[in-house]
Amino acid sequence: MNNKADGKTVGTVPDSAPAKISITLKVNGVEKRMEVAPWTTLLDLLRERLNLTGTKKGCDHGQCGACTVLVDGKRINSCLTLAIMKDGAEVVTIEGLAGRSALHPLQQAFIEHDAFQCGYCTPGQICSAVGLMNEGRAKTADDIRELMSGNICRCGAYPNILAAIREVTRVGAGQAQGG
Ligand code: FES
Ligand code: FES
């Protein structure tokens, strides 16, 4: 459709968005080439197309952190991210964190510290904690609390989540325990 003012064309707006766009993502080390609708979120792509259901949909509005994954090493809310925005990126989900013969240290620490109850928030908590470690900004237990505040745990497992993260990051040793 052409918009006209004073008889001149001032802009061109497509009648419709393209139905599908081709993108490539490296997901948990495997390259995936896919045709996706432009409005598909990364969360829906992971869960519905790639069957990676470890990443959870909680609020679907960027409020709970259940959908946290790592994109090029940075933690993001996949529910707020369109898949086409990450064309060419490397995505790691909870399914891709463990090594061949051992869990990721944070996964192991979550088990040892009993850092979950229902487990719904746990993949997001762990991916977020990996992102936190990559950022290298947490120097105290309070820093961890603040920098993990985007990840909600409705079961209230915060003290044990904090203990697990502290063990792996070796942050805040000697400070008071608690969530
Ligand atoms: Fe993405 Fe809640 S599902 S932040
Ligand atoms: Fe249930 Fe966190 S363990 S929401």
- Each residue's pLDDT tens digit, 28-83: 999 999 999 999 999 999 999 999 999 999 999 999 999 999 999 999 999 999 99
Ligand 2 atom 2, closest CA: 153
Could you tell me the pTM of the whole model?
0.88
The minimum-distance atom of ligand 2 relative to the CA of 125 is 2
Question: Residue type at 42?
Answer: L
Cβ–ligand 1 distance for 63 under 6 Å, the answer yes
Residues of the chain with CATH 1.10.150.120: 105-169
Any idea what DSSP says for residue 118? S
Q: In this predicted model, what pLDDT tens digit does every residue of 120-155 receive, in sequence order?
A: 999 999 999 999 999 999 999 999 999 999 999 999
CATH 3.10.20.30 holds for 21-95: yes
At residue 176, does pLDDT exceed 80? no
Q: Are 133 and 168 in contact (CB under 8 A)?
A: yes
Distance of CA 121 to the CA centre of its chain: 11
User: What per-residue confidence (pLDDT) applies to 100?
Assistant: 87
Residues of the chain with CATH 3.10.20.30: 21-95
Options 3.10.129.10, 3.50.50.60, 3.20.190.10, 1.10.150.120; CATH for 105-169 is 1.10.150.120
